Structure 1
Amino acid sequence: MCCDPKEVVKEVTLCLYRASPTVNQSCQCGAIQSTPYCYNIFEAHGDTGDFVDRGFYSLETLTYLLVLKAKWPDRITLLRGNHESRQITQVYGFYDECQTKYGNANAWRYCTKVFDMLTVAALMDEQILCVHGGLSPDIKTLDQIRTIERNQEIPHKGAFCDLVWSDPEDVDTWAISPRGAGWLFGAKVTNEFAHINNLKLICRAHQLVHEGYKFMFDEKLVTVWSAPNYCYRCGNIASIMVFKDANTREPKLFRAVPDSERVIPPRTTTPYFL
């Protein structure tokens, strides 16, 4: 699936993909990080990034999403999250998982090439902006997102970085993020951006929400989290957001697969002298 990533995940040459108007309904999924039981979530829907790390099945999860994208290229949109990065995946588990399963880093290298081709944002029905993280002080209009060069490693700062790292918070405008990347942004910033770009909603992921989803700023922004029982211990509910049109949305909640049905690979210990 990764040998020709441009043909699998390429939407357009720009960072902002304009999704087709909703027909019957469309669905927005949040971060699913290494959740192999995501098969029941996807029925020709989209996802807002963070497919790998912090789990046992990142590679299988990513492969499954790419298969869906290959089968329904016009109905599945995969957005890049902050974990679709060479640097982050070497820290949070995906690199080690590929090494363990294949004995080398080739699979990881192929996957990171796919990451570089993922779209950073999507616009649904011209009025719903989907992005992994949030807003950027360097971006005032959607056209500025379109000009970002996406085929690269996520930078440490700047507009590209902010789109996948920023978080909404109860601040006046902008504040330094404790993550060390991106920004904290408030209601005033969100309302101004929505007004300038004629948006009804900004749909993002990036932060664990124990209830599955959370509206903020007079429902101008929603965080959608689609990984139940995150890291196998948080006990959170997950959600997807179903849109019939730009004005009609409905959250769908679901819980994790019971522990009795969950398959966790056995730990392997590398011989000391190897």
Structure 2
Amino acid sequence: MADDSEDVGPIEVPDAPPPPPPLDPEVIAQAEKAKEEANANFKAKHFTASIAGYTRAIDLNPNNAIYWANRAAANIKLENYGAAVADAEKSTEIDPKYIKGYYRRGDAHFALGKYKLALKDLRTAAKVAPRDPDLRRKLAECEKEVKRLRFEEALAVPDEEVMSTLEKLDLAIYDIIEDSYTGPRMAGSPAEGYTITAEFVEAMIAEFKAQKTIHKRFAFEIIKQAHTLFKSLPSLVDVTIPDDKHFTVCGDVHGQFYDLLNIWELNGRPSTENPYLFNGDFVDRGSFSCEVIFALLAYKLLFPEHMHLTRGNHESKSMNKVYGFDGEVKAKYNGTMVDCFRELFCALPLSYCLNGRVLVLHGGLFSNDGVTLDDLRKVDRFREPPEEGIMCDALWADPSPLPGRTASKRGVGLSFGRDVTRGFLDANGLDLLVRSHEVKEEGYEVEHDGRLITVFSAPNYCDQMGNKGAFVKFNGNDMVPHFTTFSAVPHPDVKPMAYANSYLMGM
């Protein structure tokens, strides 16, 4: 998200508060045991379990800064950056000289794109540990991002004056295809125009499996044609599934191309008889994001009425700069293509309604009561995501076991309870909400009295979470969800986040 905080320098490290009354040694021992169990779960990458363990330790001994900082670290692993900031702040309140508290808060702020706040935290930590090598590295990276942000702000022009990269793109400069290029070619010619075929798509996927790229001429052609197609769609797309047909919804893929291919091995390739909806977060984190997005877009062009894509929170400029997609596109193609993808992502629909009964969107429900499907249809989505409102909530919100609306553990959007889900679905004549946006141990979870499903399709997320992936299939005659889970498959030795901001390597 955008960072509009004031520029800040280093701050003074406050004095420690008065020590709390001593605890019973037995209580202290129980808290330490809970912490050690949580540490073991953290090392085993069971981050949800580790949060539960640190929470038990905090409940027993709330005045131990280490417990709060450790829980912040686990929340960062689960991308609960808002919760991580709150935990890290508590850690520094308890012990102002405990530098890991500032580290953790700086990490969470950086992950949210709040570089100036991250820099403030890191500078504060540096007053305590000026020689720490990891801290020095993070400080340098954060300072670089703040300078870049200032530079972009200085060059910024009003939105209405921004020129379309896709409209001014001259594809003729890519028309000459070198003799050395042995990859797939689209049907047609520069003079006649290019069209996508099933043969090209299959050859392209084979090329990607061999860790090769397609020619820039065809890559740009796919983006441009897909952008034209998506621009013609409303922000909420209605989809009809005939009684004798089925329909598959997949969640986040996050650049895990070989797991995407496994979905198609298990459930069949997209076709007129086998329609799909991929529910956002196609890119970032995984290091095969280009391959994923080109495969999805190619099938969209091949089967425009039977392949559907929802925008996720990672189809945005701020996320792509940090989590790898920008760097990957520049490494495999060029910087112009980064700007073209930004325009494409701004054209993606925000939601789909299946047979008038099931709403599918990436994040969740809304900050205010009374939002209707017509309100979703009317959203002006052709922009970067705002920090509040219907579009922000559709991309960022999460369900909660608590009633009503509460602060988001992510630091963006909100959390909403089963009463909010029930009220929205009933008011809009819907049976079910399907969303993605969160890692789930089994690849999916059913919540809110069976009326909300989370589906996540990136197994062993970032090669470290150990989760399964899943997809959900509906039959048109009854619209009852049927789940398939699957495990991760091997991929070439390119680590997740290989193209991400180097700051994140230490998180």
| TM-score between the two structures when normalised by the length of structure 2 | 0.50
Alignment of 1:69-88 (within 5 A): 69-88=300-319
Secondary structure of 2:241's partner? coil
Give the whole-Å Cα distance in 1 for the aligned partners of 2:470 and 2:340. Answer: 30
Partner residue of 1:195 out of 417, 426, 432: 426
Q: Which residue among 235, 246, 249 is the counterpart of 2:481? A: 249
Show structure 2 runs of 5+ residues with no match.
Answer: 1-221, 265-269, 500-507
Which segment drifts farther, 74-83 or 242-251? 242-251
Instruction: Look up the match of 1:120.
Output: 350
Residue 205 of structure 1, aligned match among 436, 439, 450: 436
Name the residue aligned to 2:327.
Answer: 96
The answer to whether the aligner puts 1:31 opposite 2:252 as a matched pair is yes
Query: How far 1:26 sits from its partner (Å)?
Result: 0.3
Task: Tell me the distance in 2 between the aligned counterparts of 1:58 and 1:21.
Answer: 29
TM (normalized to structure 1)?
0.91
Structure-1 residue corresponding to 2:493: 264
* Cα pair 1:128 1:202 within 8 Å, conserved: yes
- Tell me which structure has the larger Cα radius of gyration: 2
Shift of 1:4: 3.7
Residues 262 and 489, structure 2, Cα contact 8 Å, conserved in 1? no
* Structure 1 residue runs without a partner (length 5+): 269-274
Aligned-residue offset at 1:32: 0.7
Match among 267, 279, 287 for residue 56 of structure 1: 287
In structure 2, distance between residues paired with 1:265 and 1:187: 41
- CA-CA distance at 1:11 after TM superposition: 5.1
CA shift for structure 1 position 40: 3.8
**What secondary structure does 1:77 align onto?**
strand
| Range with bigger deviation, 66-75 or 3-12 | 3-12
Which of 263, 269, 273 aligns to 1:41? It is: 263
Contact 1:25 1:242 in 2 (8 A): yes
Task: Report the 3-state secondary structure (helix = DSSP H, G, I; strand = E; otherwise coil) of the residue aligned with 1:207.
Answer: coil
Instruction: Show the counterpart of 1:21.
Output: 241
1:107-155 per-position Cα deviation (integer Å, ceiling 9, x unaligned):
2111111101100000001000000000012452111111101111111
SS at match of 2:446: strand
Q: 2:389 aligns with which of 138, 147, 158?
A: 158
Relative distance call for 1:60 and 1:8 in structure 2 (3 A) is farther
Contact 2:255 2:286 in 1 (8 A): yes
2:57 maps to none
Residue in structure 2 matching 1:185, options 392, 416, 426? 416
**CA-CA distance at 1:210 after TM superposition:** 1.1
Distance in 1 of aligned mates of 2:346 and 2:312: 11
Which residue identity is paired with 2:483? P
1:109 to 326, 334, 339: 339
C-alpha distance in 2 between matches for 1:4 and 1:241: 29
Q: Which has the higher contact order (CA 8 A, sep 6+)?
A: 1
Between the two proteins, the alignment pairs up a number of residues equal to 263
Residue matched to 1:134:
364
Mark the CA change 1:11 to 1:220 in structure 2 (over 3 Å): closer, same or farther: farther
Note if contact 2:351-2:359 (Cα within 8 Å) is conserved in structure 1. yes
Aligned-partner SS, 1:90: helix
